Amino acid sequence: MTEITAHHGLFKNTDLHVDDTAGPGRAVLLIHGWPLSGESWSAQVPALQGAGYRVITYDRRGFGRSDKPARGYSYDTLAEDLNALITELDLTDLTLVGFSMGGGEVARYCSIYGTDRLHSVVFASAVTPYMLHTDDNPDGPLSKAKAAKLTAGLTKDEDSFYDQFTTEFFTSFSPPMTDEQGTLMVSEQQRQEAIVLCKQADKKAALACLTAFGTTDFRDDLPKVNVPALILHGELDGTVPFEGSGQRTHAALPGSELNVIAGAPHGVNVSHAAEFNTALITFLAK
């Protein structure tokens, strides 16, 4: 375990909790989804270690075991945190794996800091290119009404919100993004473990990041991604539907690889861990 201090922005002494598992191979940095923590990668870390990679996870500011400042949750600041971590550990020939909200950090990092330190990137169930449905983004899968409902639900009652959110997170919906019946693809124990991680999040941070990943436009960031890229997504993701996110990200990155895991929900790295790990390790070997 390492603590990295992000020396920038409004809170210059924000400590980020980092788990760095040394290995003989290239470094793989895993960026978690909202509102979880680096511990959400528990099914990936041993598989990547076993394949010989140096595996690094960290908790985003405001979440998990990292410091929880009152402000500083724009994607520019979160990308600065990521850059501080990469610089402090002097990582090169690195693969960034961004899950859900973390995909936005990958895109914004490449846009601001370039790709000189990177070998490749992975957008897993990622919120790119732009979640919010607007007049100039008609394919955005997140309606303003749904965004407002999410914010209101989290504001009113965290326990109830996270109970429902984790259920949807691990449920395969057909068609996605509806309130119709779906199939929960993990055990109740796995869902409860996710709730524990959710409850480590600071409420102010969770609300700010909910707004950030729902309303940030990454369409101008993606063209700056000029390293090999894998788009990895669950077919029946009801939280970040493939058609409005993964499919569009793949189209925006000529030459990117696409792997859609059949029948999988948003939390595909848990529900379909073996398939997810195989796809990731196969890509890393290239």
CATH architecture for the domain at 2-284: 3-Layer(aba) Sandwich (3.40)
Percentage above 90 pLDDT, the chain: 89
How does pLDDT run across 139-189, given as a tens digit for each residue?
999 999 999 999 999 999 999 999 999 999 999 987 655 555 689 999 999
53: pLDDT strictly greater than 90: yes
Q: Give 25's DSSP letter.
A: S
Catalytic residue numbers? 100, 237, 266
How is the chain split into domains, by residue range? 2-284
Position 22 confidence tier, pLDDT thresholds 50, 70, 90: confident
Give the pLDDT confidence of 31-47 residue by residue, as tens digits. 999 999 999 999 999 99
Query: What pLDDT does 11 receive?
Result: 47
Q: Quick count: other Cβ atoms within 10 Å of Cβ 12? A: 9
| pTM for the predicted model, two decimal places | 0.95
**Angle between helical axes of 144-156 and 203-215 (0-180°, round to 10):** 180
pLDDT at 63 over 60: yes
Q: Tell me, what's the pLDDT at 117?
A: 98
Please tell me the predicted confidence (pLDDT) of residue 140.
Answer: 98
> What is the 3-state secondary structure of 107-167?
HHHHHHHCCCCEEEEEEECCCCCCCECECCECCCCECHHHHHHHHHHHHHCHHHHHHHHHH
- The pLDDT value recorded for residue 110 is 98
Assess whether pLDDT exceeds 80 at residue 252: yes
pLDDT of residue 180: 57
Exposed, middle or buried by CB within 10 Å (0-12, 13-18, 19+), for 27? Answer: buried
Percent of the chain with pLDDT over 70: 94
Helix (H) or strand (E) holding 205: helix 203-215
Identify the band that residue 13 occupies on the pLDDT scale cut at 50, 70 and 90.
Answer: confident
* Predicted confidence (pLDDT) per residue in 113-140, tens digit: 999 999 999 999 999 999 999 999 999 9
Residue with tokens 């859609």: 260
Alpha carbon distances (Å) from 103 to 51, 221, 234, 245: 23, 11, 14, 10
Q: Are 142 and 132 in contact (CB under 8 A)?
A: yes
Please report the pLDDT score of residue 217 as a whole number.
98
Average pLDDT for residues 22-30, to the nearest whole number? 92
- Residue 103 scores a pLDDT above 70: yes
How high is the pLDDT of residue 120?
98
